[in-house]
Structure 1
Amino acid sequence: MPVFVTLISFALKDSQRLFILVFSGTKVSGKVVESAGDEVKEVKEGDIVIPTYIGECKECENCTSEMTNLCLKYPIALNGLMLDSTSRMSVRGQKLYHIFSCSTWSEYMVIDANYVVKVDPSIDPSDASFLSCGFTTGYGAAWKEAKVEKGSSVAVLGLGTVGLGAVDGARMHGAAKIIGIDKNPWKKEKGKAFGMTDFINPDDEPNKSISELVKGITHGMGVDYCFECTGVPSLLSEALETTKVGKGKVIVIGVGVDAMVPLNVIALACGGRTLKGTTFGGIKTKSDLPTLLDKCKNKEFKLHQLLTHHVKLEEIDKAIQLLKQPDCVKVLITI
């Protein structure tokens, strides 16, 4: 029988930052878990936790493998329902759906306890929010999926929160050359703050492809690893072309609105390259996410560089407009 957890969004500390708490069984008040269901073992009353959209049972074929973080027992909930095929949310009698099992915009919700991770209360709530997705996905892609090694070369397409996470992950695992690629010139300084060694703005040389620009600063060889973080369909083939023949590896992180995208099969098959997708950067929520939370607590990440704007909840329309501004990375919405 599934073990459920209830979730609340609330303001935390005198800075009134938005944070998400998850707790089990019944209700929550304030900023801590109020009560837990009888079968819940991982969290208890008083704990601070964050929701995740994948679980980890530590027992299934996938969880016991080092090849994937996609649990077979607690999969991604794409149908908007709980594992028991019910919805635990409603408004004025109308059933609502649990997007990716989290539904973090609701004031209260129920979530399976296997989709939450305990957080040290000393961690800044805004930093913790970046680790529940975004930054962690990019960082994990470099750490768990590509397994970037010392002295390697990396290209990152798109320097948003995910891309900057990939840059930081590559840096912390010893990459010698990290090339950031973005049409926003403001991202150059932001990328350098996370460890980027080279920056390419495709608009500066419109007559050359991105792969040509990358090879131009890698002695014609290309890079060992490329992280595609934009979801722009045409960039998937470009990402392949940026990598080395015979050993290049592309990690696809960005997902756009197109389910089907064109692909240069020659670059893949005849080039001997590897193309791999990832969810949450290959991070296992129970085994790996606590490691990243510890790094956050120890100030090993420059997560403050990601937070560029604050708005109040009633200014939500302003937040959407801010996302279009060149100096925007993440907007924190306060309640």
Structure 2
Amino acid sequence: VIKCKAAVAWEAGKPLSLEEVEVAPPKAHEVRIKIVATAVCHTDAYTLSGADPEGCFPVILGHEGAGVVESVGEGVTKVKPGDTVIPLYIPQCGECKFCKNPKTNLCQKIRITQGKGLMPDGTSRFTCKGKQIYHFMGTSTFSEYTVVADISVAKIDAAAPLDKVCLLGCGISTGYGAAVNTAKVEPGSTCAVFGLGGVGLAVIMGCKIAGASRIIGIDLNKEKYAKAKEFGATECISPQDFKKPIQEVLVEMTDGGVDYSFECIGNVGVMRAALEACHKGWGVSVIVGVAAAGQEISTRPFQLVTGRTWKGTAFGGWKSVDSVPKLVTEYMSKKIKVDEFVTHTLPFDKINEAFELMHTGK
């Protein structure tokens, strides 16, 4: 058993609390990882807020991390102690019907226990002050040590800077893949990206790499425009600057609508606008943002009958164990940006400040 520091969410709506926790050794087909760096994501904040129906407390949140394998349970063959790894919130067992189908990356092998905040055997590896602490998204990276299933680990290049590549554990991969895997953006196309946070910027990067000739960023916060243009946006607009709905503005700007649109916020009203901003006959809109539980999308069926396509994506469609090491290689060879996504680097004990910075769009 390892004793270490972790940021524990004791209850919904309260700041995280830095505690000493005990991390049990890995059981069969499990891996214990020393987390070197972690990022914060709106998904962590959503669960912390209490709005997530799958949220269990007390819990150790975090799902964008990177570290080094400390020990492995019996039967683990893919990684060994000392390996540099990224924990994966979507695993890849390689055996379930989802893994065997090239059309999806949604491995279901440990979905049920992961959704309950437990390891595949139905128990937790974390205790604090005598209480069991739940896992989160199968990763729990807000701890100096964590235990994950062996199918939830990607071994990466040991030379990779972990304080940067941890972002490939969620946001960058999600946005980049939404453009290149889910939408399959084509050279010369016109794209609209709603929401210019980390994921939206990654979508812009993907659209640019795919050869899009026009990339329109949409956000209410104009402080985000300079960064969006750095990543490849050709122009940025705010819905507040127009009297008419933003989809009408985009249709006018683009002679009938965009070829591809992406919703990177999680707002069902914006999802509708993103679809309706698409060109008749061939426009594709991809939902990347995660809306709150129970919310529903709406549009007129005629939008789809007349040739628009509405899609969604999770983790950018990447089959995780196979793809994350390749994404790290793409970063190391400068094909994709990662460093530019990092706005602040803080010590672990300032984790609540990191959430504040995220909430204020900093």
What band does the TM-score fall into relative to the shorter chain? 0.7 to 0.9
Taking a change above 3 Å as real, the CA distance of residues 271 and 278 of structure 1, as seen in their structure-2 partners, is: same
Query: In structure 2, do the counterparts of structure 1 residues 287 and 34 end up closer, same or farther at CA, with 3 Å as the change threshold?
Result: closer
User: Post-superposition shift, 1:75?
Assistant: 3.4
Q: C-alpha separation between the residues in 1 aligned to 2:140 and 2:321?
A: 20
Q: Could you tell me whether the CA contact under 8 Å between 2:251 and 2:279 is conserved in 1? A: no
Distance 2:146 2:157 in 1: 22
Question: 1:234 Cα shift?
Answer: 1.1
Where does structure 2 lack aligned partners over 5 or more consecutive residues? 1-26, 39-63
3-state SS of paired residue (2:326): helix
Q: Residues 180 and 196 of structure 1 are in contact (CA less than 8 Å); yes or no, is this contact kept in structure 2?
A: yes
- Aligned residue pairs, count: 310
Structure 1 residue 21, shift from structure 2 partner: 4.9
Equivalent residues of 1:62, 1:70 under 8 A apart = yes
Could you tell me which runs of 5 or more consecutive residues in structure 1 were left unpaired when the two chains were aligned.
13-18, 23-31, 329-335
Distance in structure 1 (CA, Å) of the matches to 2:146 and 2:351: 21
What CA deviation, in whole Å up to 9, does each residue of 1:250-284 have, x standing for no partner? 11111132422341133543333221221111111
- Identity in percent: 40
Q: Relative to structure 1, is the Cα distance of residues 325 and 287 closer, same or farther in structure 2, using a 3 angstrom cutoff?
A: same
Give the Cα–Cα distance (whole angstroms) in 1 for the partners of residues 279 and 162 of structure 2: 40
| TM, length-normalised to structure 2 | 0.80
The 1:40/1:272 distance shift into structure 2, 3 A limit, reads same
Q: Could you report, residue by residue, the CA deviation over 1:30-49 in whole angstroms, capped at 9, with x for unpaired residues?
A: xx433333311111121111
> Distance between the aligned counterparts of 2:93 and 2:70, measured in 1?
25
Match for residue 283 of structure 2 among 245, 248, 253 = 248
1:95 aligned residue: 132
Distance 1:198 1:93 in 2: 54
Aligned to 1:68: 104
Is the 8 Å Cα contact of residues 2 and 83 (structure 1) preserved in structure 2? Answer: no
More helix, by proportion: 2
Paired AA for residue 39 in structure 1: G
1:178-193 aligned at under 5 Å gives the runs: 178-193=215-230
Q: Which residue of 2 aligns with 1:319?
A: 354
Aligned-partner Cα distance in 1 for 2:109–2:355: 36
Q: Out of 311-320 and 271-280, give the one that drifted further.
A: 311-320
Aligned-pair RMSD on alpha carbons? 2.2
Give the whole-Å Cα distance in 2 for the aligned partners of 1:258 and 1:234.
Answer: 15
Per-residue Cα deviation, 1:44-83 (whole angstroms, up to 9, x for no partner): 1211111011111223332232211011324372111112
Q: d(CA) in 2 for partners of 1:140 and 1:191?
A: 17
Q: Is the 8 A contact 2:154 2:320 kept in 1?
A: yes
- The alignment partner of 2:174 has SS state of helix
Distance 1:80 1:33 in 2: 21
TM-score norm. by structure 1 comes to 0.86
- The question of 1:57 aligning with 2:83 is answered no
